[in-house]
Amino acid sequence: MDTQFLSTEAKKLVALPKGILAIDESMPTCNKRFENLGIPTTEENRRKYRELLITAPGIEESISGMILFDETIRQSTATGIPFTEIFKQKGMSIGIKVDSGTKDIPNHDGEKFTEGLEGLNNRLVEYKNMGASFAKWRAVINIDMEKGLPSNECLDINSKSLSQYAQIAQENNIVPIVEPEVIMDGSHTIEDSYTVTSKTLSNLFKTLKEQNIFIPGLILKTSMVISGNTCPVQATTEQIAEMTVKCLKENVPSDIGGIVFLSGGQTEQQACDNLRMMHKMNPELPWALSFSYGRAIQYPALKAWAANMEDVATAQNILVENARNNANANLGK
């Protein structure tokens, strides 16, 4: 394990004002988003769309790296340039989603665990040879206060697999992004979200420590502390910013490589405003705090492309502007 490489690469990924763009939707998820907008769900359309995102002029000014799906890392532009080559030309890092999705934990009220450890080492060797320098593994944590969810078993199982993945990634000199996503679906309050996110993160970092994970060569991708989407009382931007940063300060080691957020169903505006408020309220933070949004950066561009698939430039302009807004949010602007 090259600790120097891992910590330098982690720092580069979250060097403000830049953030990470997640474009690693699995085939079924990508197809669902296409279907909702009337885009035919073909491999060629997925390739075209990812080409639009990766080649967007100026995207590299706000984006340090993108997380890809297995299909995408192997694809090329219409003119035959491998996507991985475009990343090199633009100085962006290549990330790869390596989990293979979630399954129900038996007899656990629909709680999930994440699969993908089998054969992971071999896949990482291959991705590293293709130029990948970081990876992502997502765990899903549901809140249901009435049912007492998440259960301790759910947190333990997911912390364990996140740690095992992180270890295998670091052994291959790939910076692991560990993503325990506390889902915002539900009627829980922001206080409930704070309690569950704290519990999730403290469980995770305890396990990472036990597994001897090199923390400066690791990035946490987390959800914000936020009201459930059907909670009658929705927290303000100030409350979200304050409680999220408090929760992170209490549970994340100060020497971590960086922290990034997922958008998790927030609108583009909410995700950007909440991030900006955190930086405005906290000019000094112990770690780099940035974004790794998927939907909150991509969605308006995807919508524009669906409306006119010939007009790539308009969709790219929308994408770049959205990414720039979030980079500015990282500066409190």
Q: Which residues bind ligand 13P (CB under 6 A)?
A: 22, 138, 179, 262-264, 293-296
Indicate the residue whose CB is closest to ligand 13P: 294
HSE toward the beta carbon, residue 123, CA cutoff 13 A: 21
Minimum distance, C-beta of residue 108 to ligand 13P, in the bound complex (Å) = 21
Nearer to ligand 13P, 214 or 293 (CB): 293
* Pairing mode, strands 102-104 and 112-114: antiparallel
CA–CA gap between residue 115 and residue 198 (Å, rounded):
24
CA–CA gap between residue 86 and residue 58 (Å, rounded):
12
Minimum distance, C-beta of residue 181 to ligand 13P, in the bound complex (Å) = 6
Which of 9, 221, 242, 268 does the annotation list as catalytic? 221
Minimum distance, C-beta of residue 284 to ligand 13P, in the bound complex (Å) = 26
Nearer to ligand 13P, 235 or 296 (CB): 296
Which of 179, 181, 191, 303 does the annotation list as catalytic? 179
Nearer to ligand 13P, 228 or 294 (CB): 294
CA–CA gap between residue 90 and residue 12 (Å, rounded):
14
Nearer to ligand 13P, 150 or 264 (CB): 264
Judged by DSSP in three states, 66 sits in strand
CA–CA gap between residue 205 and residue 200 (Å, rounded):
9
Beta bridge partner(s), residue 22: 67
Neighbours of 125 (CB within 10 A): 12
Reply yes or no on whether 44 is catalytic.
Answer: no
Output phi, psi for 89, to 5 deg.
-60, -35
Minimum distance, C-beta of residue 95 to ligand 13P, in the bound complex (Å) = 10
The dihedral formed by the CA atoms of 261, 265, 267 and 271, expressed in degrees to the nearest 10:
-10
Nearer to ligand 13P, 5 or 221 (CB): 221
**Token couple for 251:** 């549970």
Reply yes or no on whether 221 is catalytic.
Answer: yes
CA–CA gap between residue 7 and residue 2 (Å, rounded):
9
Residues with a catalytic annotation lie at 179, 221
